[in-house]
Structure 1
Amino acid sequence: MSEPLLRAVGVRKTFFSGGPGGRATRRGSGGSTPRGHSGHTEVLKGIDLEVHKGQVVCLLGPSGAGKSTFLRCLNHLETIDAGQVWVDGEPIGFKLRGGKLYELREADVARQRRDIGMVFQRFNLFGHRTALENVVEGPIRVLGVKPDRARADALELLDRVGLAHRADAYPAQLSGGQQQRVAIARSLAMKPKLMLFDEPTSALDPELVGEVLAVMGTLAREGMTMVVVTHEMAFAAEAADEVVFLADGAVVETGPPDRVLKAPEHERTRQFLARVLS
């Protein structure tokens, strides 16, 4: 089998509370415990994950399991305390020099993120820009694509997510499901190698969930490499090549959806599925 497109090894993350002024603080790689801290929470306890090109991996687990934090560590939106993440063989957020890892400058991390699309729970669209303008922003400003080319590509992407007819609409004129589909088109416009989805339907009314999952299902069938944090069990069962169940910051169980969702081996997984599927 080829080398994985995404590889995470021993990823750990701790959040500290009760820092100066009572604010929550976070320790980055090589950081020290803040003075006056009253406690800490180890959110990730050594997570390993491999995702090969074209695979869809769904991360499942209860609230507070560390799923969203782990996803944010994959593109260095959160700085990890230990372990390492590689995308297409490149260490994310760090460089190796003299046998030691050094954190990259933010500009260099931003360059790496061009290859990693991310769709958040909230849509994060520019409210003063139309759907089309939201999609063309990244290619023009970051990738240097000519405006005419970027516009043509953006219209094609909006058509792909079923919104070509709303290209000139502003986010406030769109439903939540439509806004999320624009957000997906915006990420795809950067031509990423990997797409990360952080509970993309959790902020939607139930009747709007299906339209977003349909777009994601199409991407999966077209071979987009995806890591998806979700509570949508039907989507995981249909679209995922592998399901990873996390609890308390650790991987409890992993495997194909038919086994993990229908015949889980671990009691913790069985308890979770009994609640969400009841």
Structure 2
Amino acid sequence: MQAASMVRMSQVHKRFGMREVLSDIDLSVQAGEVCCLVGPSGAGKSTLIRCINYLEKIDGGSIHVNGQLVGYKLHKGRLHELSEREAGRSRADTAMVFQHFNLFPHLSVMENIVEAPIHVRKESRAAAQAHARELLARVGLEDREKAYPRELSGGQKQRVAIARALAMRPKLLLFDEPTSALDPELVGEVLSVMRSLAQEGQTMIIVTHEIGFAREVADTLVFMDQGKIVERDTPARLIDRPQSARAQAFFNSILK
């Protein structure tokens, strides 16, 4: 594995019952790279990033993040599954932003952001709050730290969710269709924050239907269908000159 690889997936398989949702996945993402996953609904994109974050267990193959095996440890030549506590520690360098925000409704914006740094990374409350205020300014919500999720728009909630993810100082940031639950007029404010992260060199894997955004920010575009990676290339080449009939049909449909 290359020293600069942040994510390395090798021959990954995942099944739900008898249905194989990921089949023979090989994917490498380098440190500082932005990789966007696109494809039809049900292609396995969200399952793939949930496996990277060990929210789903794989049924075959291996995943390494920042050089560490995900979900398992190698001891005396044999793989042993991590305990829940060990798995939680192993996820400390990876953060995920979900489609439906997943904010704690009973906590203020500030409390949502500092919860994990205090309890997982053992930061002092003062340090965690200072960092949270920096992040809120970064996502344009410096005046909302005392607000509760019910008082925020969808776009504001998602920007808080991004700030909460960044509060863990992740080396890898995963996004699962972060704009699909938003009203169209709110999509831009979330994409603007993500665009700035890409410009700053944050390693990101993004599941998205925003093809124009993917064309702009991605270093690598991956097209998936039926649990498989069909094509991987630069956005310009894959969007404008896809090689497979399935990718051609997909891009022709959505770019009409």
TMscore range, shorter length: over 0.9
Q: Which residue of 2 is the match for residue 198 of structure 1?
A: 176
Query: Of the candidates 87, 95, 112, which is equivalent to residue 73 of structure 2?
Result: 95
CA distance in 1, matches of 2:7, 2:240: 27
CA distance in 2, matches of 1:229, 1:141: 28
Amino acid in structure 1 at the alignment position of 2:95: G
Q: Which residue of 1 is the match for residue 198 of structure 2?
A: 220
Query: Of the candidates 88, 95, 99, which is equivalent to residue 121 of structure 1?
Result: 99
Query: How far apart are 1:2 and its partner, in Å?
Result: 4.0
Q: Which residue of 1 is the match for residue 7 of structure 2?
A: 6
Alignment of 1:1-278 (within 5 A): 2-16=3-17, 40-278=18-256
**What is the identity percentage for the equivalent residue pairs of Structure 1 and Structure 2?**
55
Query: How far apart are 1:99 and its partner, in Å?
Result: 2.0
CA distance in 1, matches of 2:9, 2:225: 17
Larger radius of gyration: 1
CA distance in 2, matches of 1:221, 1:95: 34
Instruction: Figure out how many residues of one structure are paired with residues of the other and give that number.
Output: 255
Deviations along 1:138-158, one digit per CA (max 9) or x if unpaired, are: 111111111111111100000
Query: How far apart are 1:75 and its partner, in Å?
Result: 1.2
Deviations along 1:8-45, one digit per CA (max 9) or x if unpaired, are: 111100111xxxxxxxxxxxxxxxxxxxxxxx111000
Displaced runs of 4 or more, over 6 A = none
CA distance in 1, matches of 2:143, 2:232: 41
Query: How far apart are 1:67 and its partner, in Å?
Result: 0.4
CA distance in 1, matches of 2:249, 2:149: 39
Query: How far apart are 1:100 and its partner, in Å?
Result: 2.1
CA distance in 2, matches of 1:83, 1:155: 41
Q: Which runs of 5+ in 2 are unaligned?
A: none
Amino acid in structure 2 at the alignment position of 1:128: H
TM-score, normalised with respect to structure 1: 0.90
Query: How far apart are 1:234 and its partner, in Å?
Result: 0.9
CA distance in 2, matches of 1:242, 1:169: 37
- Counterpart of 1:5 in 2: which secondary structure? strand
Deviations along 1:186-231, one digit per CA (max 9) or x if unpaired, are: 0000001100000001111111111101100000000000000000
- Counterpart of 1:43 in 2: which secondary structure? strand
CA distance in 2, matches of 1:73, 1:219: 23
CA distance in 1, matches of 2:23, 2:41: 16
Q: Which residue of 2 is the match for residue 36 of structure 1?
A: none
TM-score, normalised with respect to structure 2: 0.98
Q: Which residue of 2 is the match for residue 32 of structure 1?
A: none
- Counterpart of 2:5 in 1: which secondary structure? coil
Query: How far apart are 1:132 and its partner, in Å?
Result: 1.0
Query: How far apart are 1:53 and its partner, in Å?
Result: 0.7
Deviations along 1:57-76, one digit per CA (max 9) or x if unpaired, are: 00001001000011100011
CA distance in 1, matches of 2:119, 2:80: 28
CA distance in 1, matches of 2:75, 2:107: 42
